[in-house]
Amino acid sequence: MNSCKVAVVGAGLAGLYTARALHAAGVDVLLLEGRSRLGGRILTVDDGGTPSDDGFDLGPSWFWPEMQPAMAELVAELGLDSFIQHSTGDVVFERLSRERPQRFSPAYENQQSRRVSGGTGAVVRALAARLPDERIRLGTQVTAMALRHDGVELSLRRTDGHTEVLLAEHVVAALPPRLLGASVAFSPAQDSATATRWRRTPTWMAPHAKFFAIYDDPFWRKDGLSGTAQSMVGPMVEIHDSTTKSGRAAFFGFLGVGADQRKSVGEVALKQACIEQLARLFGQAAMSPRATLLKDWAADPFTATADDRTGGDHPTPVSSRWVSGEWEGRLVMAGSETSPSEPGYLAGAVVAGKQAVADILTRLEQK
């Protein structure tokens, strides 16, 4: 049976941060990821949807340095550049379908969001570069965990269909609690209160879909528009300028259409409706994007469960324990949703990862 001191399940930001830090501390760590790529809900792609080192963030893209110092410190530590989210110009508001959209000048706040140059995927690449390739296993899904006297036995299923077993002294679950509970069979089972709490914790991004329209230039800026819009008509309810640091012009918007309706309408019709909405809000130039992208996170089995097809609430920070009973000494939770601050956000993933590292190192020192 293969073995390691610590198995980290999930190679999103929290998992990568945890694995990198444990490896730097000299711990025998193995990072397991069901997807064929790193990053989890962080996904930066080019016009065609292929992962890129200078593209558009289909997942999270913003952080607020003053409110989220953990993320700002990580960006600085990794030597990455960031830039202020473009918000100069008027905002457009669409209230009713029978009324013309209105534009107004907003009162700006001091807290401005920033984006990582090249996309949030730059953080993923920088963290991964600090881990040896042999410490990362992609295309490897954890399907079950069984508690033993000497650790945790993990059942693994690879993309090619092969299965294997891994023994880890400790496990860090860097997954959203709801996804962990739905995708991994535990023996013994988690107690009912823990299982219920995991299931009731919403996974940020899971119910949502993001649409991107990419253009040759940010024409809306010439018209004195910021690229920000809010709509009560839809299909997008919130729209922002998503132009990259290198100048690749784009809008992105969150769809206000539920997951089941998105599925029934279909991607082609949804994209067309989004383009027509952009034209209503920003002018006819928006009718001719160079490319479009649509990422429906509710259709991603490594992000969403059946419980995520409705809702969309943001997780709230809590201080009580995420693991109890027999599993408390072997399993540590590190998904962003479990963070005591900024849960669900990029910063929450960093904070949760830091806590997991401190917890694991304390446990190892006590042995």
Q: What share of the chain in percent tops pLDDT 70?
A: 99
Q: Do domains 2-42+124-204+313-365 and 48-62+86-116+207-299 have the same CATH topology?
A: no
Residue-wise pLDDT tens digits, 264-304: 999 999 999 999 999 999 999 999 999 999 999 999 999 99
Written as one letter, the residue type at 255 is L
| Tokens coding 10 | 């999930």
Q: How many whole angstroms separate alpha carbon 106 and alpha carbon 29?
A: 49
Per domain, the residue ranges of the chain are: 2-42+124-204+313-365, 48-62+86-116+207-299
pLDDT band at 366, cuts 50/70/90? confident
Written as one letter, the residue type at 193 is A
| Tokens coding 272 | 């067309």
> Which of 30-34, 154-158, 166-170, 321-325 has the weakest average pLDDT?
321-325
DSSP state of 106: -
State which CATH number among 2.60.40.1940, 3.40.50.9100, 3.50.50.60, 3.40.190.10 fits the domain covering 2-42+124-204+313-365: 3.50.50.60
User: What mean pLDDT value characterizes the chain?
Assistant: 96
- The CATH code of domain 48-62+86-116+207-299 reads 3.90.660.10
Question: In angstroms, how far is the first alpha carbon of the chain from the final one?
Answer: 23
Residue 228: strand, helix, or coil: strand
Residue-wise pLDDT tens digits, 70-81: 999 999 999 999
* Residue 53 burial (C-beta neighbours within 10 Å; 0-12, 13-18, 19+): exposed
Q: What are phi and psi of 251, to 5 degrees?
A: -105, 155
Report CA torsion sign: 259, 260, 266, 270: negative
